[in-house]
Amino acid sequence: MEDLLGVDPELVHHMRLYRGLDQQLPHKRDLEERLKLCYGELFAVDFDLLLNDVTSTYLEGEANRNPMEQRGYSRNNCSHCKQVCIGLVVTRDGFPLGYEVVDGNRTDVTTVEEIVENMEAQFGKAQRVWVMDRGMTSDANLEWLREGGREYLVGTPRSELRK
């Protein structure tokens, strides 16, 4: 926070950060681009291989304020709670490059095009390999990746291996 915004580190604590998240959201793309630049300069990070995964986080209470809050596949065994899903893209070294928040009832396989297109729009369509687990694998997604000239490494669903 001190480097990016010039905020005195003594004034920063977790509750203050939580309260300020809504004000940071409009600056999401700028912050992600700044982090990518810093990663590249400080750690010589390569962006040629990106790992894409989706997780969910549940919300307690009525969760009526955000239409993205939906009941869906719960990775936390909290199916009684509404949730949102978060698609995270990281480098081979685990540095987060970007994220997208999507409706809590979306399945992983439906997020691939949106997340890849958003990352390419922001950081360019470089020669890179997209790595995704079997929950994101479908014939349609593989065809879309191939048609766009993208390289990929994906997990194969067990049902396909049995064939």
pTM of model > 0.75:
yes
What is the rounded average pLDDT for all residues in the chain? 87
Domain that holds residue 71: 45-162
Task: Decide if pLDDT at 162 tops 80.
Answer: no
Task: Decide if pLDDT at 113 tops 90.
Answer: yes
pLDDT band with cut points at 50, 70 and 90 for residue 110: very high
- 121: domain CATH number is 3.30.420.10
Domain identity same for 132 and 155:
yes
Domain identity same for 83 and 137:
yes
Q: Per residue in 22-37, pLDDT tens?
A: 888 899 999 898 888 8
Domain identity same for 91 and 149:
yes
pLDDT band with cut points at 50, 70 and 90 for residue 63: low
Q: How many domains does the chain have?
A: 2
Query: Taking residues 84-104, what's their average pLDDT?
Result: 91
pLDDT of amino acid 72 = 92
Domain identity same for 76 and 20:
no
Domain identity same for 132 and 76:
yes
DSSP the chain: -HHHH---GGG--HHHHHHTHHHHGGGHHHHHHHHHHHHHHHH----SEEEEEEEEEEE-S---S-TT-B----TTS-TTSEEEEEEEEEETT--EEEEEEEETT--GGGSHHHHHHHHHHHH---S-EEEE-GGG--HHHHHHHHHTT-EEEEPPPHHHHH-
Domain identity same for 7 and 18:
yes
Domain identity same for 70 and 35:
no
Domain identity same for 103 and 51:
yes
Window from 44-53, 100-109, 154-163 with minimum mean pLDDT: 154-163
Domain identity same for 27 and 78:
no
Domain identity same for 30 and 64:
no
